[in-house]
Amino acid sequence: MPAAPASPVTPAAPASSFLGKAGPLVLARLFTAGLTLSIPLVLARVLSPAEYGTYYQLFLIATTLYYVLPFGVVQSLYYFVPRAEEKRPWLGQALLYVSGAGVVAAGLVWALMGPVAHHFTNPALLEHRGTLALYTAFLLGSFPLEISLTSQGRTKHSALVYLVSDGVRSLSMVVPCLLGFGLHGMMLAVAGFAFLRFVAAWVVVPRGSKGPLARADLWRQQFVYAAPFGAAMALAIPQQNAHLYMVASAVAPAIYAVYRVGCFQLPVVDLLYTPTSEVLMVRLGELDKQGRMEEGVVAFREAAGKLAFVFLPFAAFLFAAAPEFIGALFGVKYLAAVPIFRVSVLGVVLAILPMDGVLRARGHTRAILLSYLLKAAVTAPLVWFGVKRFGMTGGVVSWAVAEVVGKSALLMRVPAALSTPERALRLRDVIPWRELGKASLAAVAAAVAVFLLRLGTEHAFSGLPQGFVWRVLPLAVAGALFVTGYVGVLYATGVRPLSLLASLRSRRAG
C-alpha cells in the first residue's frame, strides 16, 4: 500500500488514537495495584524475616524461569499477529510452546532445588519444591493469555483478564497468610491460581480466530524471529537478577529480606510502561503494514513524553521520602533498606523511553540481544566485586550501573529502527526533550522541598505512636508537599496538569 500524503495534523491523530487503546489496560492495572501492594505489606508483618526472605527466594527462582524459557515466542505475537490475516497458528504455536516449556520448568525446579537451597544456605526452600514446580509450570503455560488479546487489538478484553488474574493472584497470596496458614498455605494457593490461568489460556487464546493451531512453515518464521529476543532474555533475566542471587548466597534469609525490601518497586512502572509499550508495538506494526512508518517517531515521542511526566516525579518522590516510605509500608525493622531503595528507584527513570518495544516491533531483536550481551559482560565482574567488597550496597549499585549501560545501548538503536528511506532520524529526533526538561525541573524542586521538610519536622515526627496510621502520617505530609510543589512548578513552566490528566484519561476512547 503506497504511503499516504502527509499533512500537518495527520501524524498527531494516530499517536493520540493509539495511546487511547492503552487506557483499559492502564485502568485495569491501576485497580489491581492496591491488591498487588498488599502482598509485601501483609507478608512483611505476618511472616518472620527468615520466612519473608524464603518467600522472595522462591519467587526469584520462579520468575527467572518464567521470563527465560518462553524464549521470545510469546512476545513475537506483537510482531506477527497485527500483520497476519490468519492469526490462529501464531497464537496456537505460542501456546503449545510455553505449555511444553512449563513442563521443562517444573523439572528444573524439582531437580535443582537441592543445590539452590544449599547455595542459599536455606534448607527451608526444599519444603516448597513441589508447589513451586507446579506454580512455575502452569504460570509459564498461561503466558500468552493477555498478550494474545492485546496483539489482536482487543485491549478491553485484555484489561478484563488482567483485572481478574491480578486480583485472584493477590488474594491467593494474601488470604492464606492472614488466615494463619503461612508460607506453606500461600504456595498451595498460588499453585491453584496458576492452574486456573493455564486452563483459561487454553480456552481464550485459540478462540475466535481461523486456521490450524500450528503450521510448520509459520513456526519456523516465528522461531527465527523470536530466537534473538529469546537469547537476549536468556542473558537479560539472569543478568538482571544476578545481584539478587549473589546477595542471597552471601547473607542469611532474614538479611536478604531487608535487601529485597530495598529493591521493592511500586507497580506504577508496570502499570503504565507495559501497556503503553505493548500498544506502541501494535501501533508500529499497523503503521508498517499501511506504509506510514514516518508517523512512528511521533507515536514514540508522545508515549515517552507522557511517561516522563509520571515516572520522573514518582522517582524523585521515592528518593526524597525513602525513610517515610519504607517505615510506613514495611515498619521500622526494615529502615536499614533505605540506602538500597534510593539506588533502586533509578529503574523508574530508566523506564521512561519504551525502547525495547520499538526494537521488537521493528524486528531489530538482534540489537536487543547485543545490548544484553553488553550488560552481562558488565554485570558479572561488577556484581562479584560489589557484593564481596561492599555487601548489599555493592549489589544494588552494580545492578544500577549495568542497567544504565544496557539502556544506553538500546537507545542508540532506536533512531535507525524508526527511520524511513525518506528520513534518517538521529538520537535528538526521537527524545521528547521539552517534556523531559519540564518534568525534571518540577520533580527536583519538589524533592528538595521534601528534604527541607524532614529537616524541619524530624523531632516532631519522632515522638509519634507506633501504629500504622501514625507511621503513614509523615509519608502523607511529604506526599502532599511534593504534589503541591510539582504541580506548582509545572504551572510555572506552562504545563497544565489537568490537561495532562485529561489526555491520559482520554486513552479510554480507544
Weakest mean pLDDT among 57-71, 176-190, 266-280, 286-300: 266-280
Weakest mean pLDDT among 101-115, 275-289, 321-335, 457-471: 457-471
Weakest mean pLDDT among 10-19, 143-152, 345-354: 10-19
Instruction: State the number of CA atoms in the 13 A half-sphere of 306 facing the CB.
Output: 29
CA distance 253 to 245: 12
Question: Per residue in 346-372, is it b (16+ CB within 10 Å) or e — as a string?
Answer: bbbbbbbbbbbbbbbbbebbebbbbbb
- Predicted pLDDT at 286: 85
Percent over 90 (pLDDT), the chain: 54
At residue 240's C-alpha, the angle toward residues 235 and 241, to 5°, is: 105
Environment class of 104 (CB within 10 Å of its CB; exposed 0-12, middle 13-18, buried 19+): middle
The label of the residue with cell 508496570 reads 270
Weakest mean pLDDT among 24-33, 39-48, 173-182: 24-33
- Predicted pLDDT at 1: 33
Q: Which of the pair, 138 or 296, is modelled with greater confidence?
A: 138
Residue 437 has pLDDT above 90, yes or no: yes
Instruction: Show me where the domains of the chain are located.
Output: 36-214
**Secondary structure, 3-state, 139-195:** HHHCCHHHHHHHHCCCHHHHHHHHHHHHHHHHHHHHHHHHCCCHHHHHHHHHHHHHH
- Predicted pLDDT at 5: 33
Q: Which of the pair, 217 or 267, is modelled with greater confidence?
A: 217
Closest CA to 375 of 406, 333, 412, 336: 406
Give the confidence band of 431 by pLDDT, cuts at 50, 70, 90.
Answer: very high
CA distance 3 to 235: 38
Please say whether the dihedral angle defined by the alpha carbons of residues 438, 443, 448 and 449, taken in this order, is positive or negative: positive
Q: Which of the pair, 361 or 17, is modelled with greater confidence?
A: 361
- Predicted pLDDT at 233: 81
Q: Region of 431 please: left (phi>0), alpha (psi -120 to 50) or beta.
A: beta
Give the confidence band of 329 by pLDDT, cuts at 50, 70, 90.
Answer: confident
- Mean per-residue pLDDT for 449-456? 88
Mean pLDDT in the chain?
86
- Predicted pLDDT at 499: 67
- Mean per-residue pLDDT for 461-471? 63
Question: Per residue in 160-185, is it b (16+ CB within 10 Å) or e — as a string?
Answer: ebbbebbbbbbbbbbebbeeeebbeb
Q: Which of the pair, 448 or 5, is modelled with greater confidence?
A: 448
DSSP 464: S
- Predicted pLDDT at 372: 82
Q: For the segment 188-202, what is each residue's pLDDT rounded down to a tens digit? A: 999 999 999 999 999
- Predicted pLDDT at 457: 72
- Predicted pLDDT at 247: 96
Please say whether the dihedral angle defined by the alpha carbons of residues 340, 341, 343 and 348, taken in this order, is positive or negative: positive
Whole-model pTM: value is 0.80
- Predicted pLDDT at 410: 92
C-alpha cell at 225: 524471529
Amino acid at 308: A
- Predicted pLDDT at 509: 39
CA 436 to chain centre: 21
Torsion of CA 333, 339, 345, 346, to 10 degrees: -160
